[in-house]
């Protein structure tokens, strides 16, 4: 497997206007590219992304759509065209699945929508606890570790963590992409979801909950807030949502029993 060395952001000239004067300067702008994802030779779609961690993003996307289920069936993941193409191959697959149009384009924050992945059993019984102090520390670490956002203010950031600290952090132009990157990282490294926490800077929509549920992660922490449909799914999934974590406070939306003092 190979990784791309593409820059996280580019520098462009801008004019800064404050009502009194206009100054010629430059600004860091997050990179956006189309990433083409192929499975067993068939093009499954094109994802608008930053170009970072393309293999994780492609594998995580395919996993979230139910097209990859067992790490042992994966035989090869390769990048091409400077990290703009990822090809994924499975063992014993001579023809690709008959789903998804060949020219589907997926926006960075848009729904994926193949709709063939099911859900695991609800996670109500997973025994994992976190304290409010740990949640605040994790969120501070996430925000301070968002290096590309702090340069460009143009990305979302998500991280896989334990109560003791962040394990891996990913940034991208779309919050869906960051979760797929983490899902790909977990898949490629055989990391189970139980005993883990997912943190994100983005809004928690129904599709975000679906991704977290499929990863088997019992606690989701967000700097932002959820939608009503997300809350319905969270309750069904048995996932703890700790949202609007900022200013030393947080909202416990579902399964608050996992937050202990």
At 190, list the tokens.
Answer: 């055989």
CATH hierarchy code of domain 132-258: 3.40.140.10
pLDDT score of 104: 58
- Any idea what the Cα angle at residue 134 is, between residues 132 and 137, rounded to 5°? 110
Mean pLDDT split into 10-residue runs, the chain, 261 residues: 62 95 96 96 94 97 92 95 96 59 55 61 96 98 94 95 98 96 98 97 95 96 97 98 97 98 89
pLDDT score of 120: 85
pLDDT score of 2: 43
Domain ranges (residues) in the chain: 132-258
Relative to beta strand 240-246, strand 249-254 is antiparallel
pLDDT score of 98: 46
pLDDT score of 25: 96
DSSP 210: H
Instruction: Please report the sign of the dihedral spanned by the C-alpha atoms of residue 70, residue 73, residue 75, residue 80.
Output: negative
Cα separation, 251 vs 231, in Å, equals 12
Q: Is 39 exposed, middle or buried (0-12, 13-18, 19+ CB in 10 A)?
A: buried
pLDDT score of 9: 85
């Amino acid at each position: 497997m190979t990784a791309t060395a593409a820059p996280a952001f580019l520098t462009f000239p801008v004019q800064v206007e404050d009502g009194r004067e206009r100054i010629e300067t430059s600004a860091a702008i997050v990179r956006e590219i189309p990433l083409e994802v192929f499975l067993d030779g068939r093009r499954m779609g094109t994802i608008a992304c930053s170009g970072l961690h393309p293999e994780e993003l492609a594998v995580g996307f395919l996993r979230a759509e139910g097209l990859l289920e067992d790490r042992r069936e994966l035989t090869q993941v390769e990048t091409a065209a400077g990290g703009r193409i990822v090809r994924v191959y499975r063992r014993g697959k001579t023809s690709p699945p008959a789903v998804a149009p060949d020219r589907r384009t997926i926006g960075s924050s848009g729904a994926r929508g193949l709709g063939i992945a099911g859900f695991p059993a609800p996670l109500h019984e997973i025994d994992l606890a976190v304290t409010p102090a740990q949640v605040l520390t994790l969120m501070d670490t996430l925000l301070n570790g968002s290096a590309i956002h702090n340069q460009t203010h143009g990305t979302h950031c998500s991280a896989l963590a334990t109560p003791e600290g962040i394990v891996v952090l990913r940034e991208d132009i779309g919050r869906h992409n960051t979760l797929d990157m983490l899902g790909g990282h977990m898949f490629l490294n055989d990391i189970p979801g139980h005993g883990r926490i997912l943190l994100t800077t983005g809004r928690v929509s129904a599709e975000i909950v679906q991704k977290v549920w499929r990863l088997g992660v019992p606690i989701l922490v967000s700097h932002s807030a959820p939608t009503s449909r997300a809350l319905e799914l969270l309750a069904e999934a048995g996932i703890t949502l700790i949202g609007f974590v900022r200013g030393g406070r947080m909202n416990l939306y579902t399964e608050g029993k996992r937050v202990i003092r």
